[in-house]
Structure 1
Amino acid sequence: MKSHTSISTHEAKRIAKRLLNHWKHKFEVSETETMFSIFMPETTVVLTAEIDQLIVDIDTQLEDYTRIEQVVVDHLNRMAQQEFLVAWQHTA
């Protein structure tokens, strides 16, 4: 299942970088200037930082994909120190 959402923020790069650093001790990660990837077992999270938004793409083999979506959003909220409301779009 693939999940996609965009979060309106002017701090996309800072938030993505903080989450990458938070998870790099548990998972393999990679980063470019604007793209931050986290490779979990059965799930890949890609954060793309744009000027006024953070694009979040999740590609998972887990049946309960809503749980990983919530884990990612909860962690993004913590890294940003604010609450984001997200609407996920899904493709198989």
Structure 2
Amino acid sequence: MQAGSISEINTITTLLSYIYGNSLTVTTIQQAVSSVQVIITSFSFLVILIGSISLFVGAVGIMGITLARVYQRTREIGIMKTLRANN
């Protein structure tokens, strides 16, 4: 069978399901496109999630290094002031 227009697709699908019963599975192009869209959406969400986690881990790493350097520098300045060193 061939549909003359898009509006006839559901009618033909229902007719084929009625004729062949459960022995035939009818899949339309709209159903296939819908399935692909769901897969692409899920994959996009997964990529965004992995990117967000990576960004967070990188930010925590940079913050840790920065805090360690500030703490180290603060100790050096404190020791130099104790010894009455000039600027």
Is the TM value for this pair above 0.5?
no
TM norm structure 1: 0.23
Structure having the higher Rg:
2
Query: Whose helix proportion is higher, 1 or 2?
Result: 2
TM norm structure 2: 0.24
Query: Whose strand proportion is higher, 1 or 2?
Result: 1
Larger RCO (CA within 8 A; separation ≥ 6): 1
